[in-house]
Structure 1
Amino acid sequence: MELKFKLCSLNDLEKLRLISEQTFVTAFEKDNDPVDFKNYIDKAFALEKIKEELLNSNSDFYFVYQNSKIIGYFKLNVGDAQSEVIADESIELERIYVLAQYQGKGLGKCFLDYIKNLALNKSKKKLWLGVWEHNTAAIQFYEREGFVKFDTHPYYIGEDEQTDWLMGYDLSNL
């Protein structure tokens, strides 16, 4: 399956905001309080917020294309852009989303393979991410891909404190 990966720029701002909100809503709206969820969406996916993240030199967003259509995206953080200070040689996979109609086709693994290579090219030794403790399908996917839970941290959807599992992948396994 032929995928193309493109580093996002300011020219992609509106498309990035749209796919970010769309994929998050599809994945989590049904599991959250409507008021808390709307408050979170309004802040986390505001155009200015996405622009600020896109302009951060320690963060990179990538679109993933199949047949010239965007089918997903991901965000990587290094240094102080990481949501937790893990180590200088670590890189955080803060977001990874595939549009609903493309899920279940093995694309997540393709995304991760590309991400692992990006991390290695940046001389990183550990790739890590946070995943909601109740997102069992995602947890099982990451475990199949070699990620191991090493901690937890709080994640807020509005006023609702939730728990993310922190899962890491040792890049020396490659």
Structure 2
Amino acid sequence: MLIRRAGPGDAQTLSRIAARTFTDTFGHLYPPQDLQAFLDESYSLQACKQVLADEACAVWLLEADGVAVGHALAGPCTLPHAEVAPGDGELKRLYVLRDHQGGGWGGRLLDTALQWLERDGPRTLWIGVWSENHGAQRLYARLGFELAGTYDFIVGNIRDHEFILRRKA
């Protein structure tokens, strides 16, 4: 297994792994047409090219034998919370395919993203997490993240209740 920083040439790979991991993790929650519209908007080749071209963001791919099995995305915080300040960072995505979970690589991927977010020193970090994802909430709590608010994550006609977690600098 290998974690590597994604570059502009990885847009197709990012598009595929992002859509697959989101679908594997949350696809059962949405009507097929809502899920497909979300994937087409959020994880399209064009959307992935834009993310990879954004110098304020960073993406990492987790690979097994050269094949992407997970990814992480970090950058400036865009969560809808009144206390988000310029310079705050956000872990925007962290996904690993089920068959590759449990070996510690998700934690390494998380550590990589958090270290990058704090590469210039401590700063306030944010994470949005589904209210029913108790395992992720426990993990983030162990890392010092606390509940700071809530918002709705919209996929088509479905509104998921999300928690906004924050770790102050």
Q: Normalising by the residue count of structure 2, what TM-score does the alignment of the two structures yield?
A: 0.86
Give the unaligned 5+ runs of structure 1. none
CA drift of 1:57 comes to 2.4
Query: After superposition, where does 1:18-167 map in structure 2 within 5 Å?
Result: 18-65=16-63, 68-78=66-76, 82-84=78-80, 86-167=84-165
CA contact (8 A) 1:17 1:50 kept: yes
Give the unaligned 5+ runs of structure 2. none
CA contact (8 A) 1:91 1:124 kept: no
Separation of aligned partners in 1, 2:65 and 2:118 = 27
Of residues 11-20 and 61-70 in structure 1, the stretch that sits farther from structure 2 once superposed is: 61-70
Separation of aligned partners in 2, 1:150 and 1:19 = 30
CA contact (8 A) 1:89 1:123 kept: no
- Give SS of 1:43's match: helix
- Give SS of 1:130's match: strand
Q: What count of residue pairs does the alignment treat as equivalent?
A: 167
Q: Normalising by the residue count of structure 1, what TM-score does the alignment of the two structures yield?
A: 0.84
Separation of aligned partners in 2, 1:50 and 1:167 = 25
Separation of aligned partners in 2, 1:96 and 1:158 = 22
- Give SS of 2:102's match: coil
Please report the RMSD computed on the Cα atoms of aligned residues, expressed in angstroms: 2.1
- Give SS of 2:58's match: strand
Separation of aligned partners in 2, 1:120 and 1:104 = 26
CA drift of 1:84 comes to 3.9
Give the aligned residue type for 1:72: G
Listed one character per residue, the Cα deviations across residues 64-92 of structure 1 (whole Å, up to 9, x for unaligned) are 2355443311111126xx34461223111
CA contact (8 A) 2:73 2:113 kept: no
Separation of aligned partners in 1, 2:67 and 2:33 = 33
CA drift of 1:93 comes to 0.5
Listed one character per residue, the Cα deviations across residues 26-62 of structure 1 (whole Å, up to 9, x for unaligned) are 0001122222222212221221122122222222111
The ranges of structure 1 where at least 4 consecutive aligned residues each deviate by more than 6 angstroms after the TM superposition are: none
CA contact (8 A) 1:5 1:65 kept: yes
CA drift of 1:155 comes to 1.1
Query: Sequence identity, in percent?
Result: 23
Separation of aligned partners in 1, 2:85 and 2:2 = 30
Give the aligned residue type for 2:92: E
Q: Are residues 101 and 44 of structure 1, via their aligned partners in 2, closer, same or farther at CA, if it must alter by over 3 Å?
A: same
